[in-house]
Amino acid sequence: MAAPQPRHPIPKRPIPMRLGPRPLPQHLSLAAAIWSNSALALPALNSALLNSANSNPPNGSQPGESQRRLAAALRELAPALAKADPAQLTTALQAEGRRRFGRFLDGVTAYRRHDYRRSLPAAPVVWDEGTTKLRDYRGTTRSPANPRLLVIPSLVNRYHVLDLEAEASFLRWLGANGFDPFVVDWDAPGPLERGFSLSDYIVGRLQAALQAVRREKGGPIIAIGYCMGGDLALALALRRQKDLAALVCLATPWDFHAENASHARMVGQIGHQLEPILQILGEMPVDLLQSFFSGLDPFQVLKKFQHFATLDPEGASARRFVALEDWLNDGIALAAPVARECLTGWYGANSTGNLAWRVGGRVVDPAGLDLPVLNVIPSADRIVPPGSSRALTRRLARVEEMAPHAGHIGMMVGRHAAAEIWQPMAAWMRRVAG
């Protein structure tokens, strides 16, 4: 007897389905809390409308910029709400909440089922130790005069944002424009790396990677660090100044209390509270890391997946979105000692800005670096506040600064990144390399 046929064809789905956006339960809970309960917030809104008439906060404190914007928006909204029928307003809020929640779910579902998969071939490995690899992105037109680049990404994400797609690849662009780039591929920590501190990564792995670059024929060597990788590159440069011609820091944090110090201290306190997890697992899991980053702008994920739901799934914009989200959701766990240094040290105690961060027993002080440095500070960075990076500029002796209008990730994958960021950076590197 033939099996009964389904009434509707079952759509083909890529297997396995994506896990993200991670952590998915957190994003779903936030969306449900906001959009399913909008009408319940009406009493609080009415109270806020009454209080907005007095823009002076209690206790004589001065309002922040976000408070001033909120007060202005409430005053503008007040006349229309005063005329609205409460029952109709409640019904409208419920309907709009359902619509937005539905669009968000549509976007998440479309992302999880999208047929894009990363297909760029992996660059060859020229050196490896443990889970760390050095990948060769040199182009086909090689020259002994090409400056060699040691590119150091963050420890919390794979380096793929620097090589997202063939038409959006910082590394391949460098290789095609007169440079010999080598990128550090950290990969996830193995049993040995779970015991690593930042000193182990810098004094051990990065110094060995630099030696591997030195063995390759080419011109002067420039270290490039992206995000947290900029701090690692700085510490390496201080130890190996004679082997480097220059340093480039891209969206690199330094003074973690320069902007929103209270949030940074809170991260430090959370780091202390996570100690039992770090001791049991030996690492900080990816979903915990993702929770920290999403906490910087809790509504960003909701907004961008609502927007994704409106895109043509076969279009280039949708493909780029999925490629970037796949990178964001394919994070790397942090070794427990590194997590402690970053959360309680960098964020909580501002050990970098206070010159208390030590690598291999030495204080990491940018003032001791006698190399030309280019500090690239994207002005729209939400992950590394520009003020945090500018503090690094003030501490360096031989430094030039670029402040492109870009975000933390946009500086690597944005439509104008090559023209507005990569090309001026390349011109600077050619100049200092001689």
What pLDDT score does 50 carry? Answer: 60
Q: pLDDT tens, 234-282?
A: 999 999 999 999 999 999 999 999 998 999 999 999 999 999 999 999 9
H-assigned helices in 114-169:
none
Per-residue confidence in pLDDT tens, the chain, 434 aa? 454 454 444 455 545 678 889 999 999 999 999 888 776 666 666 666 666 555 555 454 455 566 677 677 777 877 877 777 878 888 888 898 999 999 999 999 999 999 999 999 999 999 999 999 999 999 987 889 999 999 999 999 999 999 999 999 999 999 999 999 999 999 999 999 999 999 999 999 999 999 999 999 999 999 999 999 999 999 999 999 999 999 999 999 999 999 989 999 999 999 999 999 999 999 999 999 888 888 778 899 999 999 999 999 999 999 999 999 999 999 999 999 999 999 999 999 999 999 999 999 999 999 999 999 999 999 999 999 999 999 999 999 999 999 999 999 999 999 999 999 999 999 999 999 98
Rounded CA separation 16/77 (Å):
46
Look up residue 264 and give its two tokens. Answer: 């940074």
Rounded CA separation 153/183 (Å):
8
- Sequence-distant (≥ 6) Cβ neighbours of residue 266 within 8 angstroms: none
Rounded CA separation 346/352 (Å):
6
What pLDDT score does 434 carry? Answer: 87
User: What is the dihedral angle through the alpha carbons of 212, 215, 217, 222, rounded to the nearest 10 degrees?
Assistant: 50
Rounded CA separation 296/224 (Å):
25
Architecture per CATH, domain 125-259+333-433, reads as 3-Layer(aba) Sandwich (3.40)
**What's at 377, amino acid-wise?**
I
Main-chain phi, psi angles of 358, to 5 degrees: -115, 140
Rounded CA separation 336/326 (Å):
24
User: Are the beta carbons of 125 and 136 closer than 8 angstroms?
Assistant: yes
**What's at 339, amino acid-wise?**
A
What pLDDT score does 79 carry? Answer: 80
Enumerate helices (H) and strands (E) in the chain, giving the number of each.
Answer: 19, 12
Number of residues in the chain: 434
Q: Where are the domains of the chain?
A: 125-259+333-433
Q: Which of 37, 24, 30, 28 is nearest to 96 (CA)?
A: 37
Main-chain phi, psi angles of 189, to 5 degrees: -65, 135
What pLDDT score does 61 carry? Answer: 47
Other CB atoms within 10 A of residue 83 CB? 6
Rounded CA separation 288/6 (Å):
41
DSSP state of 360: T
Main-chain phi, psi angles of 406, to 5 degrees: -160, 165
H-assigned helices in 330-384:
336-340, 349
Other CB atoms within 10 A of residue 297 CB? 12
**What's at 426, amino acid-wise?**
A
How many whole angstroms from its chain centre is CA 345? 19
What pLDDT score does 14 carry? Answer: 46
H or E stretch including 399? strand 399-402
What pLDDT score does 417 carry? Answer: 98
H-assigned helices in 223-274:
228-239, 261-273
Look up residue 228 and give its two tokens. Answer: 């947290």
pTM equals 0.88
